[in-house]
C-alpha cells in the first residue's frame, strides 16, 4: 500500500471515529434534555393520584408536570398525605390525604424557610380580632363580609362543622366538612388545623410553585394594594417600578434563576422581593419580611420595632448594591423626616385630641358612632399611611397628593372643625385643643395678610396672565 492510500484510510477511520463520538455526544445530550415521564420518578402512591387526576383535574396535573416539584418527582401524595390523627384527614381512593397543605407540610422538606416564615409578622396576620378594623367588619359591615374581604388577605382559623357532641361532621366519602365561610382561604396568616400559621400559596401559586412568580410585584399586590396599604401602586409609580417593567421586557431580570442575588445575577431594577426578601452578596434570602423594616407606619403614630437599627442596616445593604452611600443615606434622611413630621404634626396631636374628646364625654366610647371618628380613622389609616409609605418607597404622588395634601385637607378642613364644634360647650377641652396644636407646631397661620395674598396673585399673573384664587 502506498503512503497516500494509508493516509486516506487513516483519515477515513479518524472521520468515522470523530463522527461516532459526535453522535454519542448528541444522543447523551438529548437524553439530558429529554424529560422523563413523571410516573417514572414518582412514588407508588403519587402515581395512583397522577393517573386518575390527569383525567379528573387535568389542569392541576399539567401545572404540576411543568413545575420544579414535577421535575424532581415530588408528587401529589408527598404534599397531600395525612396521618390518622390529623383532624382534616380523609380516606380518598384508598389513601389517607388532606385537602389542606400547610407550612408544616411544606416544612418537611423546606424546614428553614417554614421556620423563618413562622417568626414573621406575616404568620401573625390573622390575629386581627380586637382591632378597630375588625370591629368595622363585624359590627358595621355585617357578619360574612370578612370572609370575602379581610380574611382573603389576612387568613382565618380553618374550622369544621360539628354536631351537638362536638364531633366533626363528614361528607359521604369521609371528608370533613368545613365550617361555613372558612374555605377556601389562602390568607397570609391562616390558622391551620395542625396549629401552624400561614399558607405558602399566598405567594407561591399552586401547582407550579414557580419561583419567578413570587419575585414579581404582582405576587405581593393582591394584598399590598388600595388606599390603606398602597405599596404596589407606589412601586409602580417609582423609578424602580419603571425600571423593572423595562428590564423585564428586555429579559434582564432573570426571574427564573434559582440563585438570584442582587448585583450578581441581575442589576437593572429591584422588585418587592429584592428589598424585602431576596439575597444580596452579604445577606441571605429571608422569609421573614420584618427583618429589613425600621419603622412600623401602620398605626396612627409610627413606631420603631425591636432591633430597628439592625433592620435599617439590612435594608441599606441591599440598596448599596445599586447606589452610593450618599444616595442611600440621603433617601433615609428624607424618609425619616417625613415620618417624624407625620408623627409630630398630625399623628400625636390627633390622637391626643381624640382621647380628650372621649375622656370628656364629648364623643362616646364606641368607635364609628360620631362623625369625627370616621374622619380621624381615614385620616391616619388611609391618607396618613399613603403619605408615609409613599415616602418610604419613592412614590412622590402618593407622598404628596394622595398623602400629605389629603392629610392637610382632612386635618385642617374636617377634623379640627369637627373637634372645635364638639368642644364649643366645654372651654377646658377647647383650650386643650388649641394648646395641643400650638405645642406640636400644627397651628395653621390663618392670619396671613393682604401682602401674602398679593404675592400669590402675582405668581399666577406672571405665569398664566390671569388671576388664580
Ligand atoms: C380514582 C380517581 C382518583 C384517585 C386515585 C385520586 N383522586 Fe383525588 N380526586 C378525585 C376526584 C374525582 C376528586 C373530586 C371529587 C372529590 O372531592 O372527591 C378528587 C379530589 C381531590 C382533592 C380535593 C378535595 C377537596 O376537598 O376539594 C384532592 C386534594 C385530591 N383529590 C388529592 C388526591 C391525591 C393526593 C391522591 C393520591 C393519594 C388522589 N387524589 C387520588 C379522583 C381521584
Ligand atoms: C408542593 C406541594 C403540592 C404538590 C406536589 C401537590 N399539591 Fe395539590 N395542593 C397543594 C396546596 C398548597 C393546595 C392548596 C390547599 C391549601 O391552601 O392548603 C393544593 C390543592 C389541591 C387541590 C384542591 C384545589 C382546587 O383548586 O380544587 C387538588 C384537587 C389537588 N391539590 C390535587 C393535587 C394533585 C392531583 C397533585 C399531583 C399531580 C398535587 N395536588 C400535588 C400542594 C401540593
Ligand atoms: C417531599 C419534599 C417536598 C415537599 C413536601 C415540598 N417541597 Fe418544595 N421542593 C422540594 C424539592 C426537592 C425542590 C427542588 C429544590 C431544588 O431545585 O434544588 C423544591 C422546590 C420548591 C420551590 C422552588 C421552585 C422553583 O421554581 O425553583 C418552591 C417555591 C417550593 N418548593 C415550595 C414548596 C411549597 C410551598 C410546599 C408546600 C405547599 C413545598 N414546596 C413542599 C421538595 C419538597
Ligand atoms: C387587600 C388585602 C387586605 C384586606 C381586604 C384587609 N387587609 Fe388588613 N392589612 C393588609 C395589609 C397588606 C396590611 C399591612 C399594611 C402595611 O404594612 O402597610 C394590613 C394591616 C392590617 C392591620 C394592622 C396590623 C398591624 O400589625 O398594625 C389590621 C389590624 C388589619 N389589617 C385588619 C384588617 C381587617 C379587620 C380587615 C377587614 C375589615 C382588613 N384588614 C382587610 C391587607 C388587607
Ligand atoms: C410573602 C411571600 C412568600 C411567602 C408567604 C412564602 N414565600 Fe417562598 N419565596 C418567596 C420569594 C419572593 C422567593 C424568592 C426569593 C429569592 O429571590 O430567591 C421564595 C423562594 C422560596 C423557595 C426557593 C428557595 C431556594 O433556595 O431556591 C422555596 C423552597 C420557598 N420559597 C418555600 C416557601 C414555603 C415552604 C413557604 C411557606 C412556609 C413560603 N415559601 C412562603 C415568597 C414567599
Ligand atoms: C395574602 C396577602 C399578602 C401577600 C400576598 C403579601 N403580604 Fe405582606 N403583609 C400582609 C399582611 C396582612 C401584613 C400585615 C401583617 C400583620 O402585621 O398583621 C403584611 C405585612 C408585610 C410587611 C410588614 C412586615 C413587618 O413586620 O413590619 C412587609 C414588609 C410585607 N408584608 C412584604 C410583602 C412582600 C414583599 C410580599 C410579596 C413577596 C408580600 N408582603 C405579600 C399580607 C400579604
Ligand atoms: C427599593 C427597595 C424597595 C422596594 C422595591 C419595595 N420596598 Fe417596601 N419598603 C422599602 C423601604 C426602605 C421601606 C421602609 C422601611 C422602614 O420603615 O425602615 C419599605 C416599607 C414597606 C412596608 C412596611 C410598611 C409598614 O410600615 O408597615 C411594606 C408592607 C412594604 N414595604 C411592601 C412592599 C411591597 C409589597 C413592594 C412591591 C410592590 C415593595 N415594598 C417594594 C423598600 C422597598
Ligand atoms: C437592583 C438595583 C437597585 C436597588 C437594589 C435599589 N435601587 Fe434605587 N434605583 C435603581 C434604578 C435603576 C433607579 C433609576 C435610576 C434613574 O435612572 O434615575 C433607582 C432610583 C432610585 C432613586 C431615585 C428616585 C427618583 O424618583 O429619582 C432613589 C431615591 C433610590 N433609587 C433609592 C433606593 C434605595 C433607598 C434603595 C434601597 C432601599 C434602592 N434604591 C435600591 C436601582 C436600584
Separation CA 148–CA 285 (nearest Å):
32
Between CA 350 and CA 361, with CA 355 as vertex, the angle to 5 degrees is: 130
Q: How far is CA 367 from CA 139, 157, 350, 381, 459, in A?
A: 10, 26, 15, 14, 45
Q: Cell 442589576, residue?
A: 267
Ligand 7: centre distance to CA 271 (Å) = 10
Our measurement of the distance from residue 218's CA atom to the centroid of its chain's CA atoms, rounded to an integer in Å, reads: 9
Nearest CA owner, ligand 2 atom 26:
60
pLDDT at 31: 41
Ligand 1: centre distance to CA 53 (Å) = 7
pLDDT at 143: 86
Nearest CA owner, ligand 7 atom 28:
231
Ligand 8: centre distance to CA 271 (Å) = 11
Q: How far is CA 329 from CA 57, 285, 289, in A?
A: 53, 23, 21
The response to whether residue 394 sits with its C-beta less than 6 Å from ligand 6 reads no
User: In the structure, which protein residues have their CB atom closer than 6 angstroms to any atom of ligand 4?
Assistant: 128, 131, 133-134, 136-137, 146, 149-150, 153-154, 223-226, 229, 298-299
Separation CA 151–CA 187 (nearest Å):
6
Q: Which ligand is nearest to the CA of 173?
A: 1
Separation CA 8–CA 214 (nearest Å):
61
Separation CA 191–CA 10 (nearest Å):
75
User: In the structure, which protein residues have their CB atom closer than 6 angstroms to any atom of ligand 1?
Assistant: 45, 48-49, 52-53, 56, 76-77, 80, 92-93, 95, 97, 99, 173, 175
- Ligand 2: residue of 76, 102, 109 to mutate (most ligand atoms within 8 A of CB) is 76
Instruction: Report the half-sphere exposure of 59 (CA within 13 A, side-chain side).
Output: 1
**Short-list 191, 189, 181, CA closest to 145:** 181
pLDDT at 362: 97
As a whole number of Å, the CA-based R_g of the chain is: 30
Q: Which residues contact 363 (CB under 8 A, 6 or more apart)?
A: 354, 357, 370, 372, 373, 422
Ligand 7: centre distance to CA 393 (Å) = 6
Nearest CA owner, ligand 5 atom 34:
200
Other C-beta atoms within 10 Å of 326: how many? 8
Ligand 6 atom at minimal distance to the Cα of residue 275: 35
Nearest CA owner, ligand 4 atom 28:
128
Q: Which residues contact 9 (CB under 8 A, 6 or more apart)?
A: none
Ligand 4 atom at minimal distance to the Cα of residue 231: 18
State the virtual CA torsion across 431, 437, 443, 447 in degrees, nearest 10: 10
Separation CA 147–CA 380 (nearest Å):
25
The response to whether residue 216 sits with its C-beta less than 6 Å from ligand 7 reads no
- Tell me the average confidence (pLDDT) per consecutive run of 10 residues in the chain, 469 residues long: 65 64 49 50 94 97 95 96 95 97 97 97 96 93 92 96 94 94 96 97 96 98 97 98 97 97 98 98 97 98 97 98 98 98 97 98 95 98 98 98 98 97 97 96 82 91 86
Nearest CA owner, ligand 1 atom 22:
99
- Ligand 1: residue of 52, 60, 86 to mutate (most ligand atoms within 8 A of CB) is 52
Whether 159 contacts 182, CB under 8 Å: yes
Ligand 3 atom at minimal distance to the Cα of residue 258: 27
Nearest CA owner, ligand 2 atom 21:
99
pLDDT at 5: 66
Please give the grid coordinates belonging to residue 401.
Answer: 397628593
**Short-list 247, 179, 253, CA closest to 211:** 253
Separation CA 94–CA 115 (nearest Å):
32
Ligand 7 atom at minimal distance to the Cα of residue 270: 5
pLDDT at 39: 57
Burial-class residue 383 by CB neighbours within 10 Å (0-12, 13-18, 19+): buried
Please give the grid coordinates belonging to residue 128.
Answer: 386581627
pLDDT at 29: 43
Burial-class residue 390 by CB neighbours within 10 Å (0-12, 13-18, 19+): buried
Nearest CA owner, ligand 8 atom 37:
319
Ligand 3: centre distance to CA 92 (Å) = 24
Q: Which residues contact 425 (CB under 8 A, 6 or more apart)?
A: 362
Nearest CA owner, ligand 8 atom 14:
239
Burial-class residue 280 by CB neighbours within 10 Å (0-12, 13-18, 19+): buried
pLDDT at 18: 59
Q: Which residues contact 261 (CB under 8 A, 6 or more apart)?
A: 278, 279, 280, 281
Separation CA 432–CA 417 (nearest Å):
14
Q: Which ligand is nearest to the CA of 391?
A: 7
Ligand 2: centre distance to CA 207 (Å) = 6
- Ligand 5: residue of 214, 235, 255 to mutate (most ligand atoms within 8 A of CB) is 214
Amino acid at each position: 500500500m502506498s503512503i497516500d492510500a494509508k493516509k486516506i484510510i487513516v483519515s477515513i477511520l479518524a472521520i468515522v471515529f470523530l463522527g461516532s463520538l459526535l453522535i454519542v455526544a448528541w444522543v447523551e445530550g438529548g437524553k439530558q434534555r429529554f424529560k422523563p415521564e413523571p410516573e417514572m420518578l414518582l412514588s407508588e402512591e403519587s402515581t395512583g393520584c397522577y393517573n386518575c387526576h390527569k383525567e379528573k383535574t387535568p389542569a392541576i396535573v399539567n401545572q404540576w408536570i411543568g413545575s420544579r416539584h414535577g421535575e424532581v418527582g415530588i408528587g401529589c401524595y408527598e404534599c397531600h398525605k395525612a396521618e390518622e390523627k390529623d383532624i382534616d384527614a380523609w380516606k380518598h381512593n384508598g389513601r389517607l390525604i388532606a385537602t389542606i397543605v400547610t407550612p408544616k407540610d411544606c416544612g418537611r422538606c423546606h424546614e428553614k424557610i417554614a421556620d423563618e416564615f413562622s417568626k414573621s409578622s406575616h404568620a401573625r396576620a390573622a390575629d386581627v380580632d380586637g382591632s378597630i378594623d375588625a370591629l368595622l367588619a363585624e359590627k358595621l359591615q355585617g357578619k360574612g363580609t370578612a370572609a370575602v374581604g379581610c380574611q382573603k388577605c389576612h387568613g382565618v382559623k380553618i374550622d369544621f362543622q360539628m354536631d351537638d357532641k362536638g364531633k366533626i361532621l363528614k361528607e359521604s366519602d369521609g371528608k370533613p366538612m368545613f365550617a361555613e365561610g372558612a374555605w377556601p382561604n389562602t390568607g397570609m396568616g391562616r390558622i391551620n388545623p395542625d396549629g401552624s400559621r400561614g399558607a405558602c400559596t399566598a405567594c407561591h401559586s399552586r401547582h407550579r410553585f414557580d419561583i419567578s412568580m413570587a419575585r414579581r410585584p404582582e405576587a405581593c399586590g393582591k394584598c399590598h394594594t388600595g388606599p390603606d396599604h398602597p405599596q404596589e401602586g407606589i412601586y409602580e409609580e417609582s423609578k424602580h417600578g419603571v425600571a423593572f417593567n423595562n428590564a423585564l421586557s428586555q429579559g434582564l431580570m432573570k426571574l427564573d434563576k434559582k440563585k438570584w442575588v442582587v448585583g450578581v445575577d441581575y442589576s437593572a431594577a429591584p422588585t418587592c422581593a429584592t428589598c424585602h426578601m431576596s439575597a444580596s452578596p452579604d445577606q441571605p434570602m429571608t422569609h421573614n419580611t420584618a427583618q429589613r423594616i425600621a419603622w412600623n407606619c401602620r398605626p396612627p403614630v409610627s413606631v420603631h420595632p425591636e432591633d430597628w437599627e439592625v433592620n435599617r442596616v439590612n435594608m441599606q445593604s441591599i440598596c448599596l448594591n445599586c447606589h452610593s452611600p450618599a444616595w442611600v443615606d440621603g433617601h433615609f434622611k428624607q424618609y425619616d423626616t417625613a415620618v417624624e413630621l407625620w408623627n409630630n404634626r398630625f399623628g400625636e396631636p390627633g390622637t391626643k385630641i381624640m382621647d380628650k374628646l372621649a375622656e370628656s364625654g364629648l364623643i362616646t366610647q364606641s368607635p364609628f358612632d360620631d362623625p369625627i371618628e370616621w374622619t380621624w380613622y381615614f385620616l391616619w389609616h388611609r391618607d396618613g399611611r399613603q403619605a408615609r409609605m409613599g415616602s418610604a418607597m419613592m412614590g412622590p404622588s402618593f407622598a404628596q397628593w394622595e398623602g400629605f395634601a389629603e392629610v392637610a385637607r382632612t386635618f385642617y378642613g374636617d377634623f379640627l372643625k369637627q373637634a372645635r364644634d364638639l368642644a364649643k360647650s366645654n372651654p377646658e377641652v377647647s383650650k386643650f385643643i388649641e394648646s395641643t396644636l400650638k405645642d406640636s407646631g400644627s397651628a395653621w397661620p390663618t392670619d396671613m395678610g393682604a401682602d401674602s395674598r398679593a404675592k400669590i396673585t402675582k405668581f399666577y399673573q406672571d405665569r398664566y396672565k390671569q388671576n388664580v384664587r
